């Protein structure tokens, strides 16, 4: 890759970093992606309900929130035609590049940011170099700004090559709420994909390292539980109340007491509670947000069954009722050996890649698994690629940053794999 291309991609990444948008609110980001795709000259860009199935979305914010972000994007110069198609949170895009007879290769990059305040000290490169988040309280703290850039850089590199076949790139919204993979997997864009790559930077792998097959994504279910009791005067008539505070407390304590499973790893977390109203009122209502995970879909199902029973029993213990609602689900899907070999071969041939790891556990959940599963069920093969990057802070923390060297390396590795899959002989 030329020095100019490399520095242009770094510019683009910084621009995206400075304007992070949360899940389903990626209006401006989508508009910028479309600009770039048009200047590359792809054959088709699908948007809105052509890019995803609206009914399959999970974790969509309310209408006011969506409208606020859409308006902010418009003010910042996002294109009307894109905003129109993305209205109501139909963000993201699917780009199709057609280059004659050959296999169809799919690539997925995610584009959303996190609700996290970014560090502002001089020891945080984006702050020191003037591209810290302009959207206070929202931050690209997981590298999806780099993913978007790598996706665009890869399309450009493949467009200029002798690749023969079709390249389909999913610029996926809402990965952070595990909400955008399923609706994209429900479209006909996944049909006929022979080979599929999903990509993530970092995950504790250093710059210059590539994991050809990320495996063992944790199967996950996120849910809410709403407890309803009855309020009462805490001094005069506590016996008249039905205490939602107690139900929430009992549920939380006992969720962590679900027996571990010999079949593999399990996780549980209650990450949020909103309960009660005042010190002298027996709490009438409480709501918690929780998640369970498992090393396999069966282990996740085990955790779900136990969690639901625990919630139910905790409610009854305090004469309350409870209703649960699923926020998001994502399955486990592992990488195929054929694709691991293809990516490892390309990584080995890429200058600057010093370490190629064939397989490593991901240790997190990912909704790219929906796309991987859809491709596999249709007879294709798939892998989850990790592009190592030195990151000063952990993922999802205020000081997370990517080593920008990774952007050029990532484009080189991915475009080499894709060109080789398309029958080209590359060095
Ligand atoms: Zn991420």
State the distance from the centre of ligand 1 to the C-alpha of 201, rounded, in angstroms: 8
State the distance from the centre of ligand 1 to the C-alpha of 88, rounded, in angstroms: 23
Residues 6+ apart with CB under 8 A from 188: none
State the distance from the centre of ligand 1 to the C-alpha of 277, rounded, in angstroms: 36
pLDDT in tens, 37-55: 999 999 999 999 999 999 9
Tell me which architecture the domain covering 219-329 has in CATH: 2-Layer Sandwich (3.30)
State the distance from the centre of ligand 1 to the C-alpha of 53, rounded, in angstroms: 22
Residue 427 has pLDDT above 80, yes or no: no
Residue 64 has pLDDT above 90, yes or no: yes
Tell me which architecture the domain covering 3-216+333-421 has in CATH: 3-Layer(aba) Sandwich (3.40)
State the distance from the centre of ligand 1 to the C-alpha of 318, rounded, in angstroms: 39
Residue 360 has pLDDT above 80, yes or no: yes
Alpha carbon distance 307, 297 (integer Å): 15
State the distance from the centre of ligand 1 to the C-alpha of 76, rounded, in angstroms: 25
Whether the CB-CB separation of 388 and 406 falls below 8 Å is answered with: yes
Comma-separated ranges of CATH 3.30.70.360 domains in the chain? 219-329
Quick one: average pLDDT of 3-23? Answer: 97
State the distance from the centre of ligand 1 to the C-alpha of 285, rounded, in angstroms: 34
Q: Which two tokens stand for residue 321?
A: 């009722």
State the distance from the centre of ligand 1 to the C-alpha of 96, rounded, in angstroms: 24
Residue 126 has pLDDT above 70, yes or no: yes
Residue 425 has pLDDT above 90, yes or no: no
State the distance from the centre of ligand 1 to the C-alpha of 109, rounded, in angstroms: 10
Based on DSSP, count helices (H) and strands (E) in the chain, helices before strands: 12, 12
Alpha carbon distance 52, 373 (integer Å): 16
State the distance from the centre of ligand 1 to the C-alpha of 71, rounded, in angstroms: 26
Residues 6+ apart with CB under 8 A from 318: 229, 242, 243, 244, 246, 247, 250
State the distance from the centre of ligand 1 to the C-alpha of 143, rounded, in angstroms: 6
Mean pLDDT of the chain, nearest integer = 97
State the distance from the centre of ligand 1 to the C-alpha of 110, rounded, in angstroms: 8
Q: What pLDDT score does 424 carry?
A: 87
State the distance from the centre of ligand 1 to the C-alpha of 142, rounded, in angstroms: 5
Quickly count: other Cβ atoms within 10 Å of residue 137's Cβ. 12
Q: What pLDDT score does 426 carry?
A: 78
Comma-separated ranges of CATH 3.40.630.10 domains in the chain? 3-216+333-421
Task: Specify burial of residue 399 (Cβ count, 10 A radius: 0-12, 13-18, 19+).
Answer: middle
**pLDDT band for position 291 (cuts 50, 70, 90):** very high
State the distance from the centre of ligand 1 to the C-alpha of 419, rounded, in angstroms: 26
């Amino acid at each position: 890759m030329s020095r100019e291309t490399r520095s242009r991609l770094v510019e683009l990444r910084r621009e995206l970093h400075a304007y992070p948008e949360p899940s389903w609110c990626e209006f401006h980001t989508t508009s910028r992606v479309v600009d770039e795709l048009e200047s590359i000259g792809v054959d088709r860009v699908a948007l809105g309900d052509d890019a995803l199935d609206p009914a399959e979305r999970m974790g969509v914010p309310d209408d006011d929130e969506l409208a606020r972000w859409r308006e902010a994007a418009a003010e910042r110069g996002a294109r009307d035609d894109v905003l129109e198609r993305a209205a109501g949170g139909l963000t993201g895009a699917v780009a199709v590049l057609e280059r004659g007879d050959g296999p169809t290769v799919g690539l997925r990059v995610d584009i959303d940011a996190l609700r996290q305040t970014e560090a502002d000290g001089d020891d945080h490169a984006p702050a020191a170099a003037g591209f810290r988040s302009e959207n206070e309280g929202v931050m690209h703290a997981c590298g999806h700004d780099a993913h978007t850039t790598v996706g665009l850089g890869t399309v450009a590199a493949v467009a200029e090559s002798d690749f023969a076949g079709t390249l389909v790139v999913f610029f996926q919204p809402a990965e952070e709420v595990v909400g955008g993979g399923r609706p994209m997997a429900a479209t006909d864009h996944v049909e006929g994909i022979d080979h599929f790559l999903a990509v993530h930077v970092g995950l504790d792998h250093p710059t210059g390292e590539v994991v050809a097959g990320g495996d063992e994504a944790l199967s996950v279910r996120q849910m809410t539980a709403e407890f309803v009791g009855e309020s009462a005067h805490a001094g005069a008539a506590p016996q008249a109340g039905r205490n939602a505070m107690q139900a929430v407390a009992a549920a939380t304590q006992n969720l962590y007491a679900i027996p571990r499973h010999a079949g593999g790893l399990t996780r549980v977390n209650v990450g949020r509670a909103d309960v009660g109203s005042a010190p002298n009122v027996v709490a009438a209502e409480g709501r918690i947000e929780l998640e369970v995970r498992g090393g396999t879909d069966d282990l996740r199902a085990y955790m779900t069954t136990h969690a639901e029973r625990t919630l139910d029993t905790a409610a009854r213990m305090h004469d309350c009722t409870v209703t649960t609602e699923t926020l998001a689900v994502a399955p486990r899907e592992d990488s195929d050996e054929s694709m691991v070999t293809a990516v490892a071969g390309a990584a080995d041939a890429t200058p600057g890649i010093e370490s190629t790891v064939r397989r490593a556990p991901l240790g997190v959940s990912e909704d790219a698994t929906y796309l991987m599963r859809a491709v596999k069920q249709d007879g294709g093969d798939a892998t989850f690629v990790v592009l190592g990057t030195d990151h000063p802070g952990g993922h999802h923390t205020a000081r997370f940053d990517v080593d920008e060297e990774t952007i050029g390396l990532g484009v080189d590795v991915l475009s080499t794999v894709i060109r080789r899959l398309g029958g080209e002989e590359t060095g």
